[in-house]
Amino acid sequence: MTIWVDADACPRMLKDILYKAAGRLQRPLILVAHQGLQVPPSAWIRRVQVEQGFDAADRYIVEHVGAKELVITNDIPLAAQIIDKGAAVINTRGEVLDRENIRERLRVRNLMEELRNSGQITGGPPPLDNADKARFANALDRWLARNPYEAPD
């Protein structure tokens, strides 16, 4: 079971947590991005650079993710597609997105987009802090504990 990362928007401090987990647990980690990424040398870590273009990384992840795998993303429409495929989603603040909460998240996302487009709201969420980092690490650890990896022979 692979861990996929929507890597263009994933903060470095969370990538470091993911790199360590992949190496420690010998679990495949694939980072998908438009830009070139530097990743540590490891048989367990791979990067995929997709062409520039709207949602190219999202399309790649949706096409390749398997059921019961994990995707790290803040992209709510991408998360909805991933959940529909039977995979799990954790965002960068450590929130688990699932069939129970994704539709509400989509509604809120669409409302916020309308408010931003009309100029009623400006700016985005606050930057990640140490509490967010800890929540992310804890959510990842819980998922990894429930989904042990057995390397193919």
What's the pTM? 0.88
Amino acid 89: pLDDT:
97
Instruction: Give the model confidence (pLDDT) of 106-148 as tens digits.
Output: 888 778 777 777 887 777 778 899 999 999 999 999 999 998 7
A 10 A CB-CB count for 22 gives 24
Q: What pLDDT is stored for residue 151 in this prediction?
A: 64
Contacts of 21 (CB under 8 A, 6+ apart): 3, 27, 29, 140, 141, 144
Domain 3-146 annotated CATH 3.40.50: yes
The ranges assigned to domains in the chain are 3-146
